[in-house]
Amino acid sequence: MPQNLWNDADARKLPDLEGLVYRSNMLGRDRSVVNIYGGNTSAKLKMTDHVGRTVEVLAVKASGSDVLTIVEKGFALLRLDEIKPLFQRKAMTDEEMTAYLERTAFEPGRPRQSIETLLHAFVPHPHVDHTHPDALISIMCTQDAEAQARAIYGERMAYVPYIRPGFALSKWIGGKVRENPNIECVVMGKHGLVTWGPDSLSVRSRVIPARCLIPAGVTSLE
């Protein structure tokens, strides 16, 4: 059963980007919640650019980094105002997406963003976690995954069937969250979970939703 490793006293001392690092490291300490190099975390932050302007920045885990060991420099920083209009597009290839996002860099020298970056950008909440919990994936690989997810989460979730990560999946997820303002998570068939919150302190209560992952009456998933 996943353990909640969060320490409020530690987390409260940390400013936004450091808080995101802390949250990410906590998730990575339990490999049954996030596999090595898997999953990604983000925060939408206000930062001051080189001209002195305050801009909204999406800090998102870079491709090739692991949430357990990630540090501040392991996050890509992207100008969110330049990314938001992409939600209106019908389609983008991976190559188009990568080329576009490279042009939104907030500062030079940062690593390349995750392929799941638009998922984070399109979910209209300040802090977003995308995890691959073993317990959830084991249920989401069953034939009636959507019904199983509904039995566990009820009206608290939206479900998206499996498609490979990219623009279409990101748009599906962003669309579900916008259409259903009362849901608390998006369950991804054969893939994982998306959760969010107004700050790291509140999103953490949803990042390891053990009670939600295990159906009532089930004590073992072996």
What would the DSSP string read from start to end of 126-168? SEEEEE--HHHHHHHTSTTHHHHHHHHHGGGEEEE----SSHH
Per-residue interface string for the shown chain with Zn ion, residues 101-140, x marking contact by CB under 5 A: ----------------------------------------
Report, in Å, the least distance between residue 15 CB and Zn ion: 27
Sequence-ordered list of residues with C-beta below 8 angstroms from that of 216, at least 6 positions apart, any chain: none
Site for Zn ion in 192-221 (CB under 5 A): 192
- Choose one: 78-86, 103-111, 189-197, 213-221; the region binding Zn ion (CB under 5 A): 189-197
Contact flags string 136-175 toward Zn ion, x per CB under 5 A:
----------------------------------------
Question: On the CB side of 97, how many CA atoms lie within 13 Å of its CA?
Answer: 25
Joined together, the tokens standing for residue 160 give: 């998206």
Q: How far is the CB of 219 from Zn ion (least distance, A)?
A: 27
CB of 47 to Zn ion, least distance (A): 26
Return the structure tokens found at 119.
């998922």
Q: Stretches 2-10, 81-89, 152-160, 191-199: which one binds Zn ion (CB under 5 A)?
A: 191-199
Nearest by Cα to 77 from 106, 45, 97: 106
What residues make contact with Zn ion under the rule CB under 5 A?
192
